[in-house]
Amino acid sequence: MRSSSVPGKLMLAGEYAVLAPGGCAIAAATVPLVDWWLPTDATPGVQLQAFGRTFAWHDHDAAPEGIARFVAATAQAMQREGVPGDAAIALRVRADHGGRKLGLGSSAAVCVATGRALASAAGRPFDLALLRACERAHFAAQGGRGSGYDIFTVGAGGVVRYDRENKAVQPLRWPDGLCAVAFFAGESADTREAIGGRIRPAPDDIQRISAAEAALASALAQGDRDATMAAIAGAERAFVAMAERFPWLLPTGLRQIAACVADAGGVYRTSGAGGGDCGLGFFADAAQAEAAEQAWRAAGGWVVCRWPEALWPSEEAL
């Protein structure tokens, strides 16, 4: 039985600006999010376990609604790339905590896991062309929304800068001595709601967020810990300036995480579009990171992972 996993992702910079012409985003791949395998005793079709439910359908059947539509869309996109979409594949999504979605990009990970499974069944390497096919499938299944950064991050692994215009990623370095922790806010956010029109950034917002993303890209390319933390702080200031007009982007859970991070001597960063999901803390040493983790757990919160230990390895082929 051939099997593997696909990671989740967390955005570090470039939120909203990545949707603008020429926009970029920086994100990191982390923790196994979707497992895939090729059952040897099954007829062609899909077995899917996700969010407490189990689905099964064959190639000639219509896929169920919900996250299963991302599987079906990817199978169609792979067929157009010459990869048969009627193999027997199985997927297991582990993207929630206590029934709440973590905001780690489960739909993107499902697309990439489906693509990798079908490519493996066909004996074909999973390359950049197939990753781009997954991105097209994800875009279509989301009704034409999204930038694609999540697909490319979970496909490429590591810490990357995503160039939306060229549909490509630039690997970046994790600075020596930098620790980061991802904290779950206890409430899920619907990114599609934000990018679908509820949030309308002003040109100044986009300019500030883009400048902060560029500063972080430069710091990470150099592997400079202190410059990275300064750039992270700048990225959060740019986000907070926009969030002053949209207070729901910083709910209670994220504000509480920010307080835990600050009390431990770290730099806080909202991950992604805001409204819930995860907040990040960046620290100059492991003791500070541990203090913030303990404080959040004592408050009843949940810690998703710590970097660099939980960074997903880079895929050299992509």
> How many Cβ atoms sit within 10 Å of the Cβ of residue 290?
15
The pLDDT value given to residue 139? 94
The pLDDT value given to residue 316? 73
The pLDDT value given to residue 102? 84
Name every residue whose Cβ is closer than 8 Å to that of residue 149 and which is 6 or more positions away in sequence: 9, 11, 14, 18, 25, 27, 162, 164
List b or e across 89-103, with b for residues whose CB sees 16 or more CB atoms inside 10 angstroms: bbbbbbbbeeeebbb
Q: Please name the amino acid found at residue 199.
A: I
Query: What span, in angstroms and rounded, lies between the C-alpha atoms of 295 and 302?
Result: 10
> How many Cβ atoms sit within 10 Å of the Cβ of residue 318?
18
Q: What is the pLDDT of residues 49-79, one digit of tens each?
A: 998 889 888 866 777 778 999 999 999 999 9
The pLDDT value given to residue 154? 97
The pLDDT value given to residue 288? 98
Contact status, residue 299 vs residue 256, Cβ threshold 8 Å: yes
> Rounded to the nearest 5°, which phi and psi values hold at 208?
-65, -45
Query: What span, in angstroms and rounded, lies between the C-alpha atoms of 65 and 62?
Result: 9
Q: Which DSSP letter does residue 63 get?
A: P
Q: Which DSSP letter does residue 251 get?
A: -
Per-residue tokens: 118: 């079908």
- CA 20 from chain center: how many Å? 19
What are the start-end ranges of the E strands in 153-276?
159-163, 168-172, 179-184, 267-270
What's the count of helices (H) and strands (E) in the chain, helices before strands?
9, 13
Per-residue pLDDT of the chain (318 residues; tens, 9 = 90+): 599 999 999 999 999 999 999 999 999 999 999 999 999 877 889 999 998 889 888 866 777 778 999 999 999 999 999 999 889 999 999 977 777 788 899 999 999 999 999 999 999 999 999 999 999 999 999 888 888 999 999 999 999 999 999 999 999 999 999 999 999 999 887 766 666 667 789 999 999 999 999 999 999 999 999 999 999 999 999 999 999 999 989 999 999 999 999 999 999 999 999 999 999 999 999 999 999 999 999 999 999 999 999 999 998 767
**In this structure, which topology does domain 179-307 adopt according to CATH?**
Alpha-Beta Plaits (3.30.70)
The pLDDT value given to residue 194? 65
DSSP assignment of 108-155: HHHHHHHHHHHHHHTT----HHHHHHHHHHHHHHTTS---SHHHHHHH
CATH architecture of 3-172: 2-Layer Sandwich (3.30)
Q: List every span in the chain annotated with CATH 3.30.70.890.
A: 179-307
Contact status, residue 150 vs residue 95, Cβ threshold 8 Å: no
Task: Report the relative pairing of strands 159-163 and 179-184 from DSSP bridges.
Answer: unpaired
Say what the pTM is: 0.94
> Rounded to the nearest 5°, which phi and psi values hold at 262?
-65, -40
The pLDDT value given to residue 60? 65
Q: List every span in the chain annotated with CATH 3.30.230.10.
A: 3-172
The pLDDT value given to residue 318? 73
